[in-house]
Copies of this chain bind each other. A is one copy, B any other.
Amino acid sequence: MRKCLVLLSGGIDSSLMLTLVKEQRDDEVYAMSFDYGQRNKTELNAAIFQAIKFGVKDHLIITIDMSSIGGSSLTDRNMNVPKDRHDSGFNWSIPSTYVPARNSVFLSFALGWAEVLGVEEIYIGANSLDFAGYPDCRPEYFEAFEKMANLSTRRGMEKKFTIKIRTPLIRMSKEEIISEAINKGVDLSKTFSCYDPDYRSRACGHCDACKLRLEGFENAGIEDPIQYVDKERDILLAMDTTLLDEQ
């Protein structure tokens, strides 16, 4: 039986990808997620939900500390996650939420597990359209990684198999991804995208990830089922404790 490995963040993209892989392929499917020091642990719970729902053979969550490397507002609490970049003439420059070498670290771990399991295909839900600003989401990067991967493994050296890095969503827009996810029955209420959720795990609605997600839902004509921070409502609730009791 053929095997494949899906990198699963718990966002819409990787959740759709897992659904497509389970639907289209008869492989034994493995999933890998990372607790890498990101602010947002809610996406890890979403990843666990999706992995269980789709009955993967095994789901490995690797804990690594990318925050010690620094350089990203996604892992460094002293840096602010940029908000509403769209509104002030968004130029898709590389934002501070970019985590240096994150995809290389993730794919390298996936490569290691793939070699142990005998997996030939590693799926990553990267997207070059939405995140044109991330260098490690470009097709040429994944091609170079694949070449490196095949020189780095025991199985590659022994010509036993060739590792393939699959990026099925790389040319899809967020709107297409959301529409397709709904068609395929992905439970979008159990996906999470926000870079900077509040203490109740509600999405901020203003970071790049939220903006893209909300725009995608709007273009697809569907309402996003996840909870967003609603500051005005929170203030009202705080002022009127009787309302709080009714919650």
Q: Which 4 A-B pairs have the closest CB atoms?
A: A101-B112, A71-B116, A104-B108, A144-B148
Residues of B within 8 A of A71 (CB): 112, 115-116
A226 contacts partner chain B, Cβ-Cβ < 8 Å: no
Interface size band for A: 35 or more
> Complex Cα distance A50/B111, Å?
31
Q: Which chain B residues lie closer than 8 Å to A116 at the CB level?
A: 69-71, 100
Contact with B along A78-111 (1 / 0, CB 8 A): 0000000000000000100011111111011101
A105 close to B101 (CB less than 8 A): no
Complex contacts, A66 vs chain B, CB 8 Å: 112
Residue ID in chain B nearest A104 by CB atoms:
B108
A residues with a Cβ closer than 8 A to B are 60, 62-66, 68-71, 94, 98-105, 107-109, 111-113, 115-116, 135-136, 138, 140-141, 144-145, 147-149, 151-154, 156-158
Decide yes or no: A111 and B101 within 8 Å by CB, A135-B151, A135-B152 being known contacts. Answer: yes
Contacts of A64 in B (CB 8 A): 62-65
| Other-chain contact of A148, B62, B100, B104, B158 (Cβ < 8 Å) | B104
Chain B CB within 10 A, most for which of A112, A115, A136, A158? A112
Given A62-B68, A68-B60, A112-B69, A148 contacting B153 (CB threshold 8 A): no
Residues of the B chain whose Cβ atoms lie less than 8 Å from the Cβ of A144? 144, 147-148, 151-152
Known: A64-B64, A94-B157, A101-B111. 7 other contacts (CB 8 A): A69-B109, A99-B112, A100-B116, A100-B154, A101-B152, A145-B148, A145-B152
Contacts of A113 in B (CB 8 A): 69, 100
Write out the residue numbers on chain B whose beta carbons fall within 8 Å of the beta carbon of A140. Answer: 151
> A154 contacts which of B107, B111, B135 (Cβ < 8 Å)?
B135
Task: Sample 9 A-B pairs with CB under 8 A, ordered by A number.
Answer: A60-B69, A62-B64, A62-B68, A69-B112, A94-B154, A135-B156, A144-B144, A147-B147, A148-B148
